[in-house]
């Protein structure tokens, strides 16, 4: 069963998140970062600082104190953690309090408007009665005098008043037409200025997009060249490593006595057995085969790189 909340008493704990301008969500309260709280606090204290108001006007002092109190409380984690745990209940209390306060304010406003209408109606009736009383007194005065000159003068005055009223209305109508025309011209100029601003903004955005596209193309081209260079460097190192290893299979590069090279650790002038001769021939044939295969593989790589460049475009 829900507790009973009084209609004219504020909740015990303030709603610090609402005081800082954060929206009140219908679902569970989501965590707000400390830097966001600080940014909103800086904006609000600059807006409601009492020094920015006129002398003798402290209309924003209460708002400034409320914002400062909320920030001082929420920036300390040891106070904010238990407050966040109780915030769902605090939020419900404040929502109900604000709803009841809004209903009371609406009722007071409706009552005030009704009283204003009543006062206005009474004032109109009184002014209408005064006007009728004035006309009746004037007519009685004319009837009492029973003089034709006063009646003629009254008729002449009425005609002059009507003529003045007609001329005044015509002049007001002309002035209103001139104001409407001037307002229309100002609106047209304003629309033209806004259209010109919009076109300038569109052109500026297009120029920025062109610059960004050129920068992206340049970065892509640099990245592609760097990737190709790294790939070629890696392939060159792989080939050097492979070739250094392959050379060790066939030839021992150490020098023998007398400055003569050796093949498979033996001197050239030594007689070779049939088995060693066959081994040397097979090694030479294998070396030639590997060279041919590497050349074919290199040609395929060049063709693949050319195809990728064509596909990428300029």
Length of the chain: 314
User: Is residue 52 one of the residues assigned to a domain?
Assistant: yes
pLDDT digit string, tens, across residues 48-67: 877 766 555 555 788 888 88
Q: Check: CB of residue 65 under 8 Å from CB of residue 19.
A: no
User: Is residue 172 one of the residues assigned to a domain?
Assistant: no
For residue 267, list its beta bridge partners.
Answer: 262
224 pLDDT more than 60: yes
Q: Which of 120, 142, 171 is the last residue of a domain?
A: 120
Q: Which of 69, 93, 120 is the last residue of a domain?
A: 120
Domain count, the chain: 2
For residue 200, what are its two tokens?
A: 């300038």
- Residue 298: predicted pLDDT: 82
pTM of the predicted structure, to 2 decimals: 0.35
Q: Domain containing 299: what range? A: 251-314
- Residue 265: predicted pLDDT: 52
pLDDT digit string, tens, across residues 265-305: 555 445 556 666 667 777 788 888 888 888 888 888 777 77
For residue 255, list its beta bridge partners.
Answer: 261
Phi first, then psi: what are they for 59, rounded to 5°? -70, -25
- Residue 37: predicted pLDDT: 83
pLDDT digit string, tens, across residues 9-25: 778 788 888 888 776 54
56: which DSSP letter?
T
- Residue 175: predicted pLDDT: 92
Q: Check: CB of residue 74 under 8 Å from CB of residue 16.
A: yes
Q: Which of 21-30, 85-94, 107-116, 136-145 has the lowest mean pLDDT?
A: 21-30
What stretch of H or E contains 204? helix 148-250
């Amino acid at each position: 069963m829900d507790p009973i909340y009084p209609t004219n008493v504020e909740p015990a704990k303030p709603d610090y998140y609402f005081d800082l301008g954060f929206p009140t969500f219908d679902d569970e309260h989501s965590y707000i970062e400390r830097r966001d709280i600080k940014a909103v606090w800086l904006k609000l204290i600059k807006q409601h600082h009492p020094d920015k108001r006129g002398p003798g006007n402290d209309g924003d002092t209460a708002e400034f104190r409320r914002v400062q109190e909320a920030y001082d409380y929420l920036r300390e984690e040891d106070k904010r953690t238990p407050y966040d745990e109780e915030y769902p209940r605090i939020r419900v209390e404040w929502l109900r309090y604000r709803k009841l306060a809004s209903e009371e304010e609406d009722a007071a406003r409706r009552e005030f408007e009704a009283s204003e209408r009543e006062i206005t109606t009474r004032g109109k009736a009184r002014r209408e009665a005064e006007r009728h009383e004035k006309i009746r007194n004037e007519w009685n005065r004319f009837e009492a005098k029973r003089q034709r000159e006063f009646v003629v003068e009254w008729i002449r005055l009425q005609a002059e008043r009507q003529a003045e009223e007609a001329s005044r209305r015509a002049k007001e109508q002309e002035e209103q037409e001139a104001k409407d025309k001037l307002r229309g011209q100002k609106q047209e100029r304003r629309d033209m200025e806004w259209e010109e601003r919009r076109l300038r903004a569109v052109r500026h955005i297009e120029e920025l997009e062109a610059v960004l596209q050129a920068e992206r193309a340049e970065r892509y081209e640099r990245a592609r060249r760097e990737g190709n260079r790294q790939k070629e460097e890696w392939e060159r190192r792989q080939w050097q490593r492979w070739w250094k290893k392959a050379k060790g299979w066939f030839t021992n590069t150490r020098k023998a006595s007398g400055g003569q090279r050796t093949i498979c650790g033996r001197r050239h002038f030594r007689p070779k057995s049939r088995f060693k001769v066959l081994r040397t021939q097979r090694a030479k044939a294998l070396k030639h085969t590997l060279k041919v295969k590497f050349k074919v593989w290199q040609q395929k790589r060049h063709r693949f790189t050319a195809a990728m460049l064509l596909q990428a475009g300029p």
